[in-house]
Amino acid sequence: MQRRLRGTIEWIRRRAENLCVAMLALMFIAFIIQIVFRYVFNFPVGWTSEISVIAWLYIVLLGSAFWLKEGEEIRFDLITAQVGPRTGRVIGFVVAVAAAVIFAVSLPATWKYVSFMKVESTSYLKIRLDLLYAVYVIFALAVVVRYAWAAWRHLRGHDAASDVDLADRGYGL
């Protein structure tokens, strides 16, 4: 069962990576189109900026929700670096529980706001904002699950951040 779960998580991570790469390519193409239209044809277009902002929003939220591993996140470990491993796990547990609870408590208000945004749309592409902002609900749900899992791992005595091997082929080094 655990092997199947790890396989599923890795499959989701690879698809999230594929999606982020595709959106980054889309951002680059939109950026080039914007430059060509503005400086070659002297005809500035706004839809390219919208595409770039939307793609960046999705890259950041989906990438951090499904692609980024816990040990790869930026952390300020001034306190945990000064304490022992057990105290570090306790701090990690408290932080993970706090993050999961805060995001879980904010979900109803988040859903309400995203649903309300159906009355607005983007300026150029006329995409409803509730459809665009729905990615934040997905992100928030993923954060709740990830930090609940991290809390469980800390409770069991495992420091997830120590699993990272930066020399591993999957880290781009």
In this predicted structure, what is the pLDDT of residue 156?
A: 86
Element (H, E) at 9: helix 2-35
**36 DSSP assignment:** I
In this predicted structure, what is the pLDDT of residue 88?
A: 83
Report CA 96 to chain centroid distance, whole Å: 16
Q: What does the pLDDT look like over 91-148, one tens digit per residue? A: 889 999 999 999 999 999 999 999 999 999 999 999 999 999 999 999 999 999 999 9
Report CA 19 to chain centroid distance, whole Å: 12
Q: What does the pLDDT look like over 72-98, one tens digit per residue? A: 676 667 777 788 888 888 888 999 999
CA distance 56 to 48: 12
CA distance 72 to 90: 20
| Mean pLDDT on 47-53 | 94
- Selection from 31, 33, 37 nearest residue 52 by Cα: 31
Q: What percent of the chain has pLDDT over 70?
A: 87
In this predicted structure, what is the pLDDT of residue 164?
A: 43
Question: What SS3 class is residue 121?
Answer: strand
Q: At what angle do helices 129-155 and 85-116 cross, to 10 degrees?
A: 160
Indicate the pLDDT class of residue 160, thresholds 50, 70 and 90: low
In this predicted structure, what is the pLDDT of residue 114?
A: 95
Angle at CA of residue 23, ends 141 and 161, nearest 5°? 50
Contact 150, 73 (CB under 8 A): no
pTM assigned to the model: 0.80
In this predicted structure, what is the pLDDT of residue 167?
A: 43
Output the CA–CA distances (angstroms, integers) from residue 14 to 21, 62, 63, 105, 145, in the order listed.
10, 12, 10, 29, 18
In this predicted structure, what is the pLDDT of residue 130?
A: 93
Q: What does the pLDDT look like over 64-79, one tens digit per residue? A: 888 877 666 766 677 7
Q: From the CB of residue 133, how many other CB atoms can be counted at a distance below 10 Å?
A: 19
In this predicted structure, what is the pLDDT of residue 170?
A: 53
Q: What does the pLDDT look like over 33-44, one tens digit per residue? A: 999 999 999 998
